[in-house]
């Protein structure tokens, strides 16, 4: 393979499938990836053709792990925390984005954010109350909920504090610790609208103040409570008991949680015990002292629900090292709380020029989308970044644009373009 970077540098805004076909055509003879130290290969090449040592003995028996676990060789792929938290129970752990593929987060790696620890709840004893401005208030057992029509949908979940580390410039942290308060699961449960029908619908009084709100409360030590505008969530919200095909994990809300697709993480109340229809937001702790964003001019943004469009390159990313010159697929994820991802552009020159990335799989509403762009690294220092545009036409801002609009007082809703630096040795850094 030639070391020149010209043949594979794609012109900006060229439809990338065409570019890819051209790239694949050019490389058909040699393949995209030369094996490392191609010349050393003669002896190596013969090895896979001999009987493998692992074929000479019987393997481990079935049911060695009644609940399957990852290979011990993947033991480093775990959730991690970015910092020490001052109070026990009030903490978070982050998803190892650089080690994941596709768009679904395995259940053992879904990020965690708890304000008061993980409660131990007996599903048989758990109840969901739906009351307030409804015709016939009811208590639901888990069995009641499981009898109702179920719906499964894939959605991302992102903490509004995600990537807060970058407000003041590059933090030096790897992508797990900058963007890892982010996961994407297939959630299964009952539509909120179905449950409201079960309680006879919202009673007329609620409409006097211009629409009903919904208070959601958790059964944890933090008794997490948020008020949500019912009109805006009714179509999409789910009360879920399962994630990725199995019951919720304790740390993600077992036995029941609210999923409000696209809304900031904290509105997705875990260990859900109560939904109360009210005629105005209740101004709970979680929407006054917290989750309100102070702007530079001294006013505050309250009830900032939707997570704006965002993207990040997960491979290569800080901690990775490019060991040879030549072809690399730049891979990452993009998402928007306002709809679908329409396009992702990638730059390898610090944002001077952009090219379209390929979007993998079907476009999904308020879910992670995997993108990929071809890149040929010639060994020169590079700055790689990605920029998402969503179905509303909104374009992910630069950090400078975001700071100009919001100031530096707020820790929440940081969604700026993220740049990684590749130095001449191939080391990738957040600098
Ligand atoms: N009851 C309750 N619900 C909660 C929380 C909590 O502490 N208690 N944390 C919230 C926050 S801040 C976020 S970001 C998400 C995290 O969900 P996860 O832990 O399943 O990733 O849950 C939300 N729901
Ligand atoms: Mo959060």
Give the pLDDT confidence of 331-357 residue by residue, as tens digits: 999 999 999 999 999 999 999 999 999
Confidence of residue 36 (pLDDT cuts 50, 70, 90): low
State which H helix or E strand residue 222 sits in.
none
Which of 110, 264, 270, 307 most suits a substitution to test ligand 1, by most atoms within 8 Å of the C-beta?
Answer: 270
Report the distance separating Cα 34 and Cα 13, nearest Å.
Answer: 28
> Is residue 5 pLDDT above 50, yes or no?
no
118: Cβ contacts below 8 Å, ≥ 6 apart: 112, 220, 250, 251
95 belongs to a structural domain: no
Write the CA distances from 369 to 104, 357, 361, 363, integer angstroms. Answer: 10, 11, 8, 7
Between residues 160 and 289, the one the model is more confident about? 160
- Lowest mean pLDDT of 23-37, 231-245, 322-336, name the range: 23-37
Report the distance separating Cα 382 and Cα 426, nearest Å.
Answer: 9
Report the distance separating Cα 321 and Cα 337, nearest Å.
Answer: 32
Q: Are residue 244 and residue 202 in the same domain, yes or no?
A: yes
> Is residue 407 pLDDT above 80, yes or no?
yes
> Is residue 222 pLDDT above 90, yes or no?
yes
Q: Are residue 316 and residue 296 in the same domain, yes or no?
A: no
* Measured CA angle at 267 (ends 200, 135), to 5 deg: 10
Q: What is the per-residue pLDDT for 282?
A: 87
Q: What is the per-residue pLDDT for 7?
A: 30
Q: What is the per-residue pLDDT for 9?
A: 35
Write the CA distances from 40 to 1, 31, 37, 46, 372, integer angstroms. Answer: 16, 18, 6, 12, 31
Q: Are residue 150 and residue 291 in the same domain, yes or no?
A: yes
Residue ending a domain, among 255, 282, 300, is 300
Question: Which atom of ligand 1 is closest in space to residue 251's alpha carbon?
Answer: 19
Q: Are residue 252 and residue 111 in the same domain, yes or no?
A: yes
Ligand showing the shortest atom-to-Cα distance for residue 158: 1
Q: Are residue 291 and residue 347 in the same domain, yes or no?
A: no
Q: Sheet of 341-347: strands edge to edge?
A: 355-356, 341-347, 382-390, 419-422, 428-429
79: Cβ contacts below 8 Å, ≥ 6 apart: 93, 94, 95, 96, 109, 111, 112, 180
- Lowest mean pLDDT of 1-10, 47-56, 282-291, name the range: 1-10
* Measured CA angle at 377 (ends 373, 381), to 5 deg: 115
Q: Are residue 247 and residue 351 in the same domain, yes or no?
A: no
- Percent of the chain whose pLDDT exceeds 90: 78
Rg (CA), the chain: 24
Which of 266, 285, 414 most suits a substitution to test ligand 1, by most atoms within 8 Å of the C-beta?
Answer: 266
Q: Whose CA is nearest to atom 24 of ligand 1?
A: 269
Q: What is the per-residue pLDDT for 289?
A: 79
Confidence of residue 132 (pLDDT cuts 50, 70, 90): very high
Using the mean position of ligand 1's atoms as its centre, give its distance from the Cα of residue 112 in Å. Answer: 7
Provide the domain limits for residue 222.
Answer: 107-300
Confidence of residue 35 (pLDDT cuts 50, 70, 90): low
Question: Contact 39/407 with Cβ under 8 angstroms?
Answer: no
Question: Which atom of ligand 1 is closest in space to residue 264's alpha carbon?
Answer: 14
What is the phi/psi pair of residue 117, to 5°?
Answer: 80, 180
406 belongs to a structural domain: yes
185 belongs to a structural domain: yes
30 belongs to a structural domain: no
> Is residue 104 pLDDT above 80, yes or no?
yes
Confidence of residue 41 (pLDDT cuts 50, 70, 90): low
State which H helix or E strand residue 197 sits in.
helix 192-198
- Lowest mean pLDDT of 28-42, 288-302, 303-317, 327-341, name the range: 28-42
Q: Are residue 289 and residue 333 in the same domain, yes or no?
A: no
Q: What is the per-residue pLDDT for 206?
A: 56
Q: What CATH number has the domain bearing residue 422?
A: 2.60.40.650
Question: Contact 289/238 with Cβ under 8 angstroms?
Answer: no
State which H helix or E strand residue 233 sits in.
helix 230-233
| Residues flanking ligand 1, CB < 6 Å | 110-115, 157, 159, 183, 218, 220, 222, 224, 251-253, 265-266, 268-271
Using the mean position of ligand 1's atoms as its centre, give its distance from the Cα of residue 224 in Å. Answer: 8
> Is residue 93 pLDDT above 90, yes or no?
yes
Report the distance separating Cα 371 and Cα 251, nearest Å.
Answer: 29
State which H helix or E strand residue 43 sits in.
helix 41-46
Q: Is 427 exposed, middle or buried (0-12, 13-18, 19+ CB in 10 A)?
A: middle
Average pLDDT over residues 198-210: 77
Tell me how long the chain is. 431
Task: Report how many domains make up the chain.
Answer: 2
236 belongs to a structural domain: yes
Average pLDDT over residues 133-146: 98
> Is residue 82 pLDDT above 90, yes or no?
no
Q: What is the per-residue pLDDT for 59?
A: 96
Q: Are residue 246 and residue 113 in the same domain, yes or no?
A: yes
Report the distance separating Cα 188 and Cα 417, nearest Å.
Answer: 32
Confidence of residue 15 (pLDDT cuts 50, 70, 90): very low
Helical spans, DSSP H, in 111-162 = 142-147
Q: What is the per-residue pLDDT for 211?
A: 80
Report the distance separating Cα 369 and Cα 184, nearest Å.
Answer: 10
Residue ending a domain, among 300, 323, 351, is 300
Confidence of residue 34 (pLDDT cuts 50, 70, 90): low
Average pLDDT over residues 15-29: 48
Confidence of residue 32 (pLDDT cuts 50, 70, 90): confident
Q: What is the per-residue pLDDT for 225?
A: 97
> Is residue 4 pLDDT above 60, yes or no?
no
Q: Are residue 171 and residue 275 in the same domain, yes or no?
A: yes
Residue ending a domain, among 280, 300, 320, is 300
Q: Whose CA is nearest to atom 20 of ligand 1?
A: 252
Q: Are residue 324 and residue 199 in the same domain, yes or no?
A: no
Average pLDDT over residues 6-34: 49
Q: What CATH number has the domain bearing residue 294?
A: 3.90.420.10
- Lowest mean pLDDT of 33-47, 102-116, 214-228, 235-249, name the range: 33-47
Q: Are residue 343 and residue 282 in the same domain, yes or no?
A: no
Characterise 172 by phi-psi region: left (phi > 0), alpha (psi -120 to 50), beta (else).
Answer: left
What is the phi/psi pair of residue 54, to 5°?
Answer: -70, -10
> Is residue 39 pLDDT above 80, yes or no?
no
Confidence of residue 48 (pLDDT cuts 50, 70, 90): confident
4 belongs to a structural domain: no
350 belongs to a structural domain: yes
> Is residue 130 pLDDT above 90, yes or no?
yes
* Pick from 416, 118, 115: nearest CA to 266: 115
Average pLDDT, the chain: 91
> Is residue 2 pLDDT above 60, yes or no?
no
Q: Whose CA is nearest to atom 22 of ligand 1?
A: 266
How many Cβ atoms sit within 10 Å of the Cβ of residue 134? 21
> Is residue 26 pLDDT above 60, yes or no?
no
Q: Are residue 387 and residue 296 in the same domain, yes or no?
A: no
153: Cβ contacts below 8 Å, ≥ 6 apart: 186, 187, 238, 259, 261
8 belongs to a structural domain: no
353: Cβ contacts below 8 Å, ≥ 6 apart: 12, 347
Q: What is the per-residue pLDDT for 30?
A: 66
């Amino acid at each position: 393979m030639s070391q020149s970077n010209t043949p594979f540098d794609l012109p900006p805004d060229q439809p990338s499938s065409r570019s890819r076909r051209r790239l694949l055509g050019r490389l058909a003879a040699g393949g995209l990836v030369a094996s490392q130290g191609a010349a050393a290969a003669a002896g190596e090449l013969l090895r896979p053709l001999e009987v493998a040592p692992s074929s000479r003995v019987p393997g481990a028996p079935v049911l060695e792990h009644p609940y399957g676990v990852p290979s011990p060789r993947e033991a480093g792929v775990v959730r991690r925390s970015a910092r020490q938290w001052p109070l026990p129970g009030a903490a978070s752990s982050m998803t190892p984005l650089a080690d994941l593929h596709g768009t679904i987060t395995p259940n053992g790696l879904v990020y965690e954010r708890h304000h008061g620890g993980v409660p131990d709840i007996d599903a048989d004893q758990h109840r969901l109350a739906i009351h307030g401005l409804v015709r016939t208030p009811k208590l639901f057992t888990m069995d009641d909920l499981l009898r109702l029509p179920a719906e499964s949908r894939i959605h991302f979940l992102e903490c509004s504090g995600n990537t807060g580390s970058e407000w003041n410039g590059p933090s030096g942290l790897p992508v797990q610790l900058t963007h890892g308060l982010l996961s994407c699961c297939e959630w299964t449960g009952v539509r909120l609208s179905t449950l409201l029908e079960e309680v006879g619908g919202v009673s007329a009084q609620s409409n006097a103040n211009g629409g009903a709100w919904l208070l959601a409360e958790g059964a944890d030590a933090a008794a997490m409570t948020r008020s949500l505008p019912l009109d805006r969530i009714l179509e999409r919200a789910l009360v879920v008991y399962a994630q990725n095909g199995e019951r919720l994990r304790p740390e993600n809300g077992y036995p029941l949680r609210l999923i409000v697709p696209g809304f900031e993480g904290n509105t997705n109340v875990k260990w859900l015990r109560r939904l109360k229809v009210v005629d105005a937001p209740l101004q709970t702790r979680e929407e006054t002292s917290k989750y309100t964003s102070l702007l530079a001019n001294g006013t505050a943004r309250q009830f900032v629900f939707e997570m704006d469009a965002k993207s990040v390159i997960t491979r290569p990313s800080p901690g990775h090292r490019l060991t040879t010159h030549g072809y690399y697929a730049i891979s990452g994820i993009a998402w928007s709380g306002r709809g679908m991802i329409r396009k992702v552009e990638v730059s390898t020159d610090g944002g001077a020029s952009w090219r379209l990335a390929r979007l993998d799989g079907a476009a999904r509403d308020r879910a992670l989308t995997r993108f990929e762009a071809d890149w040929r690294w010639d060994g020169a220092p590079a700055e790689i970044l990605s920029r998402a545009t969503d179905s509303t036409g909104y374009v992910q801002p630069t950090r400078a644009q975001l700071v100009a609009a919001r100031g530096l007082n707020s820790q929440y809703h940081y969604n700026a373009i993220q740049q990684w630096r590749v130095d001449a040795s191939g080391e990738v850094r957040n600098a």
